[in-house]
């Protein structure tokens, strides 16, 4: 039985207590909240007897829906509209970097069914009970950043459709509140929602492409890209894909452990890869055509990215406006999944936060999301590019360290992640080796960074190779530091 349908007394034990340390939530409150369909289990480990979900295909649909929306389209636009690459060159970068960067979240997704641990709870077994809070804070900023992008895109599209009768602010509020409501339902409801809502998003994208596709051949002339430009755009793609590893296990944690690792890996990989590559390529085509098409360029000047999409659908009249609304709400598939993981991450930010019901953090995040999205909308592409760059650095270092811990120090044996140790600091690593490896790697990452606000001396020649350096160097540094840590403290 899944936790969201468990008796209230079981939920109280799992969510409001940690081995008897925290006060019990009154059963009458829990019963009422459960009847509303709100999942109460939070970040606590899912015991073996509750990992009974055999609808493994839902893992594929979660990731497919999370990626079937405007986000990949906008990311693809960065390569042509912002960096000035041709459609062909941008498409090749999109294909090859997607093939590589989809691997980490796909593998991390397998930890859910094998360990019963949420992704950031699993990270405690590498970063320790206390220092994992730093990683959680970084992950919160990352996932929340994607939520901001989704809200800005959805809000600007709604504003463009309305012809100015509602502004970006109102659109952002609508998208944010809708995402919050869906995220209340929890794992089981989210799986069912994501299983079907991709269909409406895909139909809307296909219609928009069909209506405006004839004008995509109007490509803006470009110069051949430099190696620095290729690597920089690759860094943007890495910043879009690798950070999903920080929440991957959250969506497979109730899956029966009898499922093979290969199956979960494949479902996650294909769920990300199949929609992301064509949608990023479509975005690259739109970005290249926009400067040469006056209506699209004017739509961008007035309403931002939403204005471009609405301009593409103008020939379809009122039906086109309806499709634009579907496009704006397609982002809920991404936003709701992000909000779900955010509410779990908050419970690990500080040890005593585990007492607070998960859905409270969904409300808190929405209250933060709306004003931040309104501010971010004022300079969207600049904020998007900088955001995707920066998160790629820390995410690559995090992935590298966790994989080295799993393969080298735990011999790929998931039974070495003891449930009973999740809230016992003395039974977990200190985290000094893991955090130290990440921090030391940035000694070389920083010179390899290529940002609008900073370009390192190495990046001036090579382009932005920060995430590649972080991926290799952090894991390499972790090995000797962890060996030393284990000699001092055996855990």
Q: 482 with 433: CB under 8 angstroms?
A: yes
In this model, does residue 444 exceed pLDDT 90? yes
- Cα separation, 1 vs 22, in Å, equals 24
pLDDT, tens digit, 9 for 90 and up, residues 452-468: 678 899 988 888 888 89
What average pLDDT does the segment 388-417 reach?
91
pLDDT, tens digit, 9 for 90 and up, residues 245-263: 999 999 999 999 999 999 9
CA dihedral 44, 47, 50, 51 (to 10 degrees): 100
Q: What is the mean pLDDT of the chain?
A: 85
Q: How far is CA 11 from the centre of its chain?
A: 28
Q: Identify the sign of the CA torsion 423, 425, 428, 430.
A: positive
pLDDT at 242: 94
Q: 139 with 249: CB under 8 angstroms?
A: no
- Cα separation, 117 vs 124, in Å, equals 10
Give φ, ψ of 455 to 5 degrees.
Answer: -130, 120
Q: Which of 61-75, 399-413, 429-443 is the least confident region?
A: 61-75
Domains plus CATH for the chain? 1-41 (no CATH), 52-390 (1.10.4160.10)
Percent of the chain past pLDDT 90, that is, above it, reads: 45
What average pLDDT does the segment 374-394 reach?
71
Q: Which of 132-146, 174-188, 395-409 is the least confident region?
A: 174-188
pLDDT at 79: 92
What average pLDDT does the segment 330-335 reach?
87
In this model, does residue 3 exceed pLDDT 80? no
In this model, does residue 238 exceed pLDDT 50? yes
pLDDT, tens digit, 9 for 90 and up, residues 200-211: 889 988 998 888
Q: 275 with 64: CB under 8 angstroms?
A: yes
Q: Is pLDDT larger for residue 89 or for residue 227?
A: 89
Tokens (6 digits) for 379: 């300079």
**Cα→Cα distances 176→50, 75, 303, Å:** 31, 21, 19
pLDDT, tens digit, 9 for 90 and up, residues 353-376: 888 888 788 889 999 888 888 887
User: What confidence tier does 219 reach under pLDDT thresholds 50, 70, 90?
Assistant: confident
pLDDT at 385: 58
In this model, does residue 13 exceed pLDDT 50? no
Q: Is pLDDT larger for residue 145 or for residue 273?
A: 273
pLDDT at 439: 96
In this model, does residue 15 exceed pLDDT 50? no
**Cα→Cα distances 170→156, 182, 456, Å:** 9, 19, 40
- Cα separation, 429 vs 427, in Å, equals 7
DSSP string, 218-239: -PPP-PPPPHHHHHHHHHHHHH
pLDDT at 316: 82
């Amino acid at each position: 039985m899944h936790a969201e349908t468990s008796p209230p007394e079981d939920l109280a034990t799992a969510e409001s207590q940690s081995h008897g340390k925290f006060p019990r939530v009154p059963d009458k409150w829990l019963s009422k909240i459960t009847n509303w369909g709100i999942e109460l289990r939070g970040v606590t480990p899912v015991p073996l007897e509750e990992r009974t979900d055999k609808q493994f295909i839902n893992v594929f649909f979660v990731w497919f829906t999370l990626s079937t929306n405007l986000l990949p389209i906008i990311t693809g636009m960065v390569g042509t509209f912002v960096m000035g690459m041709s459609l062909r060159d941008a498409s090749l970068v999109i294909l090859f970097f997607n093939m590589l960067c989809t691997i980490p979240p796909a593998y991390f997704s397998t930890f859910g069914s094998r360990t019963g641990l949420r992704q950031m709870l699993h990270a405690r077994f590498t970063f320790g009970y206390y220092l994992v809070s730093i990683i959680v804070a970084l992950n919160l900023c990352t996932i929340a950043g994607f939520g901001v992008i989704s809200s800005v895109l959805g809000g600007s599209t709604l504003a463009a459709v309305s012809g100015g009768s509602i502004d970006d602010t109102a659109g952002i509020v609508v998208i944010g509140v809708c995402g919050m409501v869906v995220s209340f339902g929890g794992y089981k409801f989210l799986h069912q929602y994501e299983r079907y809502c991709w269909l409406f998003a895909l139909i809307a994208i296909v219609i928009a492409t069909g209506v405006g596709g004839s004008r995509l051949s109007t490509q803006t002339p470009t110069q051949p890209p430099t190696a620095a430009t290729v690597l920089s755009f690759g860094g943007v793609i890495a910043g879009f894909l690798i950070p999903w590893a920080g929440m991957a296990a959250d969506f497979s944690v109730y899956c029966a452990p009898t499922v093979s690792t290969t199956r979960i890996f494949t479902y996650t990989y294909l769920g990300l890869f199949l929609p992301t590559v064509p949608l990023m390529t479509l975005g690259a085509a739109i970005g290249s055509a926009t400067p040469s098409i006056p209506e699209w360029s004017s739509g961008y000047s007035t309403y931002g990215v939403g204005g471009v999409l609405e301009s593409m659908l103008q020939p379809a009249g009122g039906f086109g406006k309806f499709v634009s609304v579907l496009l704006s709400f397609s982002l809920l598939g991404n936003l709701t999944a992000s909000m779900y993981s955010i509410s779990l991450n908050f419970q690990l930010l500080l040890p005593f936060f585990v007492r607070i019901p998960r859905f409270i953090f969904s409300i808190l995040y929405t209250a933060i999301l709306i004003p931040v999205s309104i501010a971010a909308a004022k300079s969207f592409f600049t904020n998007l590019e900088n955001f995707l760059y920066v998160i790629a650095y820390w995410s690559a270092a995090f992935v590298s360290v966790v994989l080295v811990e799993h393969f080298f120090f735990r011999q790929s044996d998931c039974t070495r992640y003891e449930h009973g140790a999740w809230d016992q600091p003395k039974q977990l690593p200190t985290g000094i080796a893991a955090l130290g490896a990440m921090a030391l790697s940035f000694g070389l990452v920083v010179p390899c960074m290529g940002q609008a606000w900073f370009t390192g001396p190495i990046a001036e020649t090579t382009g932005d190779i920060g995430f590649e350096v972080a991926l290799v160097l952090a894991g390499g540094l972790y090995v000797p530091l962890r060996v030393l840590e284990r000699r001092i403290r055996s855990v």
